[in-house]
Amino acid sequence: MQRTFSIVKPDAVRKGHTGAVLAMIEAAGFRLVAIKRLSISKQQAAGFYAVHAQRPFFNSLTDFMSSGPIFVMVLEKENAIADLRKLMGATNPANAEEGTIRKKFAGSIEENTIHGSDAEETASFEIGYFFAGYELYTTT
Ligand code: ATP
Ligand code: MG
């Protein structure tokens, strides 16, 4: 079993797509280990996306991610990290495959509905950024 970290981004929450996104995730076989709704500051968004600090879109990205409520979550499944990335589709929805979350809901390369960790180390960092150990403890 592998865990990954995901965010339903502000565009999707604003448009009322949270439930539909979660339904696609569960239908694909992921177990929802933990989920919470929160609003993050621009600084908190910058800490989360620190790897992108030198990118030209960083300022706009951190404004967007702090523009409204998000849902952060931890998902579990065999091969969860790669399988979620596949279900999300390409970063730019124009390039996303049919049947992916971004193809269905994303409006632009920035406002692209969902985040998913891209590797084991980033998943650990991202889960730890938003969740404490007691929120992730499961026995079933
Ligand atoms: P995420 O990390 O959110 O799961 P990703 O791994 O597909 O998405 P990254 O390259 O890590 O894409 O970029 C992080 C986020 O930054 C993207 O999801 C998107 O919201 C935004 N972004 C990426 N490229 C651009 C761009 N060229 N212009 C504007 N925003 C961008
Ligand atoms: Mg990424």
Whole-structure pTM value: 0.97
86 CA distance to ligand 1 centroid (A)? Answer: 15
Predicted local confidence at residue 138, as pLDDT: 86
Q: Per-residue pLDDT averaged across 84-95, rounded?
A: 98
**pLDDT, average across residues 28-40:** 98
Rg over CA atoms, the chain: 14
DSSP label at 96? P
Q: For ligand 1, say whether the CB of 76 is within 6 Å of any of its atoms.
A: no
Q: Is 90 in the pocket of ligand 1 (CB under 6 A)?
A: no
pLDDT tens, position by position, 2-16: 999 999 999 999 999
Closest among 87, 34, 40 to 61, alpha carbons compared: 40
Reply yes or no on whether the pLDDT at 78 is more than 80. Answer: yes
Let me know: does 7 contact 70? Beta carbons within 8 Å. Answer: yes
